[in-house]
Amino acid sequence: MSALRGELRLNEPMAKHCTWRAGGAAKRFYIPADLDDLSAFMRQTPAADPLHFVGLGSNLLVRDGGIDGTVIATSPALSQIKAISETQRWISAGTPCAQIARKTARDGLLGGGFFAGIPGALGGALAMNAGAFGGETWHMVDYVETIDRQGQIKRRDSEDFNIGYRYAQARFESEEYFFAAVLSFQTNSDAEAVSQATTHIKQLLQQRKDTQPTHLPSCGSVFKNPVGHHAAKLIQDCGLKGLRIGDACVSDKHANFIVNLGKATATEIEALIQHVQARVLADTGIALIPEVRMLGTPLAK
Ligand SMILES: Cc1cc2nc3c(=O)[nH]c(=O)nc-3n(C[C@H](O)[C@H](O)[C@H](O)COP(=O)(O)OP(=O)(O)OC[C@H]3O[C@@H](n4cnc5c(N)ncnc54)[C@H](O)[C@@H]3O)c2cc1C
């Protein structure tokens, strides 16, 4: 058995690791020191012990009863960006998307600016096929590297996944997590074009600040947009803006955001999600599907 060099925390409050700043604790929470350490940890974890990889927790609701298993934090240890050709970058799963946008723009590369709109890490962006400002994560992917329960790294192509609007599901049976991806960018020797692209993204980010409650804890859009509809408009038209359960509140600024006004619990947030779904279904016949991922068990009564 190799000695582990990472940090194992027991009963770690996941509210510290989720942008909603709410939720229960993880029985075990592991921050690997590096890839070798992560591989060793994976090999030593009993196969029956459920594992959950997380990035920056910006699309995650952990129920108040907590997670009976092990959470692996990919940030900050797994956050490297390496140039492997003029246009390709190897990027590990814990790298914040904002850093990908900044670094690739600095290198004179185009196409990665949309990552500035995603407050997560690359692994989460791959799992969610996150997108913003017309860009989408899997459009950039040459291939990904996954890590399995034995700590082995495997190369996988996009054909190995069913990829769509805010999902990327493995077509293979084995339990694997995103470890890294090789992304392709465009080069542009015209420094002016790169600077214009950066300015455009800054303007789009400013627009967001004007239209979204970015000053309050949230997970961004709670629901996917149903085909042909905007979830925010459906919720707003049902008169649900401002509706509260405890400190969980449908934002006045953007109806597809549920914000934490202070001490919201995951139970309150989930109850509000269900209330919004029931009301929109009753009034419009449209079923809203959550974009946010939920983990763990509810509090025992
Ligand atoms: C203010 C705000 C604005 C947002 N705007 C956008 C937007 O414009 N577009 C958009 O798409 N999203 C947006 N989001 C949602 C969120 O940022 C994205 O879904 C992001 O990709 C999640 O990344 P994360 O690292 O935070 O993932 P987490 O929340 O940590 O995890 C999300 C899911 O991915 C899984 N996961 C994480 N890492 C791995 C891994 N290495 N291997 C396998 N599975 C993994 C987790 O288990 C979980 O199921 C927004 C969120 C906020 C708070």
The answer as to whether 220 is a domain residue is: no
- Looking at the fold, whether 116 and 142 belong to one and the same domain comes out as yes
pLDDT at residue number 145: 98
CA of 4 to the centre of ligand 1 (A): 28
The answer as to whether 21 is a domain residue is: yes
Residues with active-site annotation: 166, 221, 291
Ligand 1 atom closest to the CA of 56, numbered from 1? 26
pLDDT at residue number 267: 98
- Looking at the fold, whether 89 and 190 belong to one and the same domain comes out as yes
> Does any ligand 1 atom lie closer than 6 A to the CB of residue 24?
no
Ligand 1 atom closest to the CA of 119, numbered from 1? 17
Do 264 and 218 contact (CB within 8 A), yes or no?
Answer: no
For ligand 1, atom 51: residue with the closest CA: 220
Number of domains comprising the chain? 3
The answer as to whether 151 is a domain residue is: yes
Domain region containing 66: 7-73
C-alpha to C-alpha distance for 225 and 232, rounded to whole angstroms? 8
CA of 164 to the centre of ligand 1 (A): 15
Do 60 and 290 contact (CB within 8 A), yes or no?
Answer: no
Last residue of a domain, one of 42, 73, 104: 73
pLDDT at residue number 36: 92
Give strand ranges (E) for the chain.
7-13, 25-31, 51-54, 60-62, 67-73, 81-83, 88-92, 109-110, 131-132, 135-136, 141-148, 153-156, 161-164, 167-170, 176-184, 186-187, 244-245, 248-250, 258-260, 293-295
- Looking at the fold, whether 133 and 188 belong to one and the same domain comes out as yes
Whole-angstrom Cα Rg for the chain = 20
Per-residue tokens: 4: 């582990």
> Does any ligand 1 atom lie closer than 6 A to the CB of residue 38?
no
- Looking at the fold, whether 246 and 168 belong to one and the same domain comes out as no
- Looking at the fold, whether 14 and 110 belong to one and the same domain comes out as no
- In this structure, what CATH number is given to the domain that contains residue 28? 3.30.43.10
- Looking at the fold, whether 95 and 173 belong to one and the same domain comes out as yes
Low-confidence ranges of the chain (pLDDT < 50): none
> Does any ligand 1 atom lie closer than 6 A to the CB of residue 60?
yes
- In this structure, what CATH number is given to the domain that contains residue 259? 3.90.78.10
Ligand 1 atom closest to the CA of 293, numbered from 1? 49
- Looking at the fold, whether 31 and 93 belong to one and the same domain comes out as no
Last residue of a domain, one of 31, 48, 73: 73
pLDDT at residue number 190: 78
- Looking at the fold, whether 173 and 121 belong to one and the same domain comes out as yes
- Looking at the fold, whether 91 and 170 belong to one and the same domain comes out as yes
- In this structure, what CATH number is given to the domain that contains residue 155? 3.30.465.10
- Looking at the fold, whether 35 and 112 belong to one and the same domain comes out as no
pLDDT at residue number 2: 65
pLDDT at residue number 197: 81
Last residue of a domain, one of 73, 91, 120: 73
pLDDT at residue number 1: 56
pLDDT at residue number 217: 98
pLDDT at residue number 111: 93
pLDDT at residue number 189: 73
> Does any ligand 1 atom lie closer than 6 A to the CB of residue 260?
no
DSSP string across 54-83: ESS-TTEEE-TT-EEEEEEE-TTTS--EEE
- Looking at the fold, whether 156 and 174 belong to one and the same domain comes out as yes
Give this prediction's pTM: 0.96
> Does any ligand 1 atom lie closer than 6 A to the CB of residue 32?
no
The answer as to whether 51 is a domain residue is: yes
pLDDT at residue number 79: 95
Mutate to test the pocket of ligand 1, among 18, 72, 118 (most ligand atoms within 8 A of CB): 118
- Looking at the fold, whether 90 and 47 belong to one and the same domain comes out as no
